[in-house]
């Protein structure tokens, strides 16, 4: 007897995990596939988490999260020009993933369309589908630095469109949306009465004088936006599983009730760690400097290899490498590169049709390792040219 429901039958392992599984067959592998900081959580935050446990903070918390943390989040968002009431408009979630999935669960009706840029982080599409929605891809182009545009969104709005997903700074492309584009997207959302789900987990990682803006801070946007953020990438806290959503009281109230039924609350010690993180916001600047140096190094090294190229990404810790000149598909290239030179990259096609011809590279490794990876990629590409494949 098959007890699975139809939706569960459709669940599949993402391509990122699949590449890691393949890599287990090899030794001496360098991974440019890991979408998390390689650095450990700063000591101060670890201490706060440990102290919480030692002082008996080992119980459930409110479903919405501890009020100390919601107040710190509210303060942080205020600095970002959006006022959220910590009592009613903020929920602490199990990472941004918890916030994303619960947002979709409370807003989607069966068949609702959600506009998602292509290429985009794979989990959006999987989540939207699982919760009954229909992901509609909106292409982004390298010639426009992979930036999502209101013009391309508008062409795909129908009477079934419910929401637009925005992820700036972006995974997998490293693109950062500028203020003017966010304004145009906000205008569209208001005109067509759409929700915006704004995933800002890479908000601290913006370079070259670029600034991160929250679309919820634009006029008329607060109540139609769910702002999602997390401690994972900005404070190197992926394993703590703490994130949050901020939005209108109506939506957050239902997310809190949903969380009561799903996971009750986020790990208590994790929440205390997160309070300490926000009280020491300058820690994010140290992380940013490390990633900026690495970005500069790897971009230069890869752009010195004949036959492949990348634009300089303005944010996050990913770059999107153009391999079109090789004539190979991104899956062929990534698998062959792993087999021959033992470097893990993620095929761009894993992130959507528009990702074909690209590889996602995460520069979440020390500089020596990045240099070694770039050398291996160089050897691989040079040998391709020699073989004439």
Q: Please report, as ranges, the residues that interact with ligand PLP according to CB under 6 A.
A: 35, 95-97, 121, 167, 171, 199, 201, 230, 232, 238, 243
Name residues whose C-beta falls within 8 Å of residue 181's C-beta, 6 or more positions apart in sequence. 147, 148, 149, 150
Q: Which residue sits closest to ligand PLP, CB atoms considered? A: 95
Query: How many whole angstroms separate alpha carbon 274 and alpha carbon 48?
Result: 9
CB of 308 to ligand PLP, least distance (A): 23
Residue 167 Cβ vs ligand PLP, minimum distance, rounded to whole Å: 5
CA-nearest of 373, 231, 233, 358 to 290 is 233
Pick the closer one to ligand PLP by CB: 97 or 251.
Answer: 97
Residue 229 beta carbon to ligand PLP: minimum distance, rounded to whole angstroms: 8
Task: Compare residues 97 and 153 and give the one whose CB is closer to ligand PLP.
Answer: 97
Q: Which helix (H) or strand (E) holds 246?
A: strand 243-246
CB of 232 to ligand PLP, least distance (A): 3
Query: Which residue, 80 or 303, is less far from ligand PLP as judged by CB?
Result: 80
Which among 235, 204, 238, 208 is positioned nearest to 299, based on CA atoms? Answer: 208
Helices (H), the chain: 6-10, 15-23, 43-54, 67-79, 95-107, 122-130, 150-154, 179-191, 249-262, 268-279, 283-303, 330-341, 367-387
Cα–Cα dist 73/87, whole Å: 11
For residue 92, the minimal CB distance to ligand PLP (Å) is 11
For residue 304, the SS3 value is coil
* Beta carbon nearer to ligand PLP, 95 or 355: 95
For the bound state, the minimum distance from the C-beta of residue 240 to ligand PLP, rounded and expressed in Å, comes to 9
Residue with smaller CB distance to ligand PLP, 36 or 154: 36
* DSSP 8-state secondary structure symbol assigned to residue 248: -
Q: What are phi and psi of 149, to 5 degrees?
A: -120, 150
Kindly calculate the radius of gyration of the chain based on its CA atoms and give it in whole angstroms.
21
Q: Which is nearer to ligand PLP, 186 or 201 (CB)?
A: 201
Sign of CA dihedral 298, 168, 151, 361: positive
- The residue among 90 and 381 lying less far from ligand PLP, judged by its C-beta, is 90
CB of 176 to ligand PLP, least distance (A): 13
Tell me how far, at minimum, the Cβ of 230 lies from ligand PLP, in Å. 3
- Cα 183 → chain centroid: 21
Is the Cβ of residue 92 or residue 299 nearer to ligand PLP in the bound state?
Answer: 92
Indicate the residue among 121 and 291 with the shorter CB distance to ligand PLP. 121
Closest approach of ligand PLP to the CB of residue 378, in Å: 28
Reported for 135-142, long-range contacts at CB under 8 A and 24+ positions apart, including other chains, are 136/161, 137/352, 137/353, 137/354, 139/353, 139/354, 140/173, 140/175, 140/354, 141/354, 142/311, 142/320, 142/322, 142/358
């Amino acid at each position: 007897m098959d007890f699975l429901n139809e939706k569960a039958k459709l669940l599949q392992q993402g391509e990122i995990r699949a590449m890691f599984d393949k890599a287990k067959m090899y030794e001496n592998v360098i991974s440019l596939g890991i979408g998390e900081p390689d650095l450990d959580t700063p000591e101060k935050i670890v201490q706060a988490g440990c102290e919480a446990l030692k002082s008996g903070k080992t119980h459930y918390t409110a479903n919405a999260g501890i009020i100390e943390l919601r107040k710190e989040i509210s303060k942080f968002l205020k600095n970002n020009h959006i006022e959220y009431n910590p009592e009613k408009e903020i929920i602490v979630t199990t990472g941004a993933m918890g916030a994303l999935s619960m947002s979709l669960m409370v807003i989607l009706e069966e068949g609702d369309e959600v506009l998602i840029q292509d290429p985009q982080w794979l989990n959006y599409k999987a989540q939207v589908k699982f919760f009954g929605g229909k992901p509609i891809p909106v292409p982004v182009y390298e010639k426009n630095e992979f930036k999502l545009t209101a013009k391309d969104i508008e062409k795909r709005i129908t009477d079934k469109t419910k929401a637009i997903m925005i992820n700036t700074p972006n995974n997998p492309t490293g693109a950062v949306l500028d203020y003017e584009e966010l304004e145009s997207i906000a205008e569209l959302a208001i005109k067509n009465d759409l929700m915006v789900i704004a995933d800002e987990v890479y908000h601290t990682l913006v370079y070259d004088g670029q600034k991160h803006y929250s679309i919820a801070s634009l006029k008329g946007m607060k109540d139609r936006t769910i702002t999602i953020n997390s401690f994972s990438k900005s404070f190197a806290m992926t394993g703590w599983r703490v994130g949050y959503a901020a939005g209108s009281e109506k939506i957050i109230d239902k997310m809190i009730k949903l969380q009561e039924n799903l996971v009750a609350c986020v790990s208590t010690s994790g929440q205390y760690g997160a309070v300490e993180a926000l009280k020491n916001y300058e820690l994010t600047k140290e992380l940013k400097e490390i990633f900026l140096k690495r970005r500069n190094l790897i971009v230069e090294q890869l752009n010195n290899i004949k036959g492949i190229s990348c634009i300089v990404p303005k944010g996050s810790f990913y770059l999107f490498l153009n391999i079109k000149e090789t004539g190979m598909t991104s899956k062929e290239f990534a698998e062959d590169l792993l087999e021959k030179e033992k470097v893990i990259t993620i095929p761009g096609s894993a992130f959507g049709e528009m990702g074909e011809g690209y590889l996602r590279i995460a520069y979440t490794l020390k500089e020596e390792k990045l240099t070694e990876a770039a050398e291996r990629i160089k050897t691989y590409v040079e040998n391709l040219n020699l073989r004439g494949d």
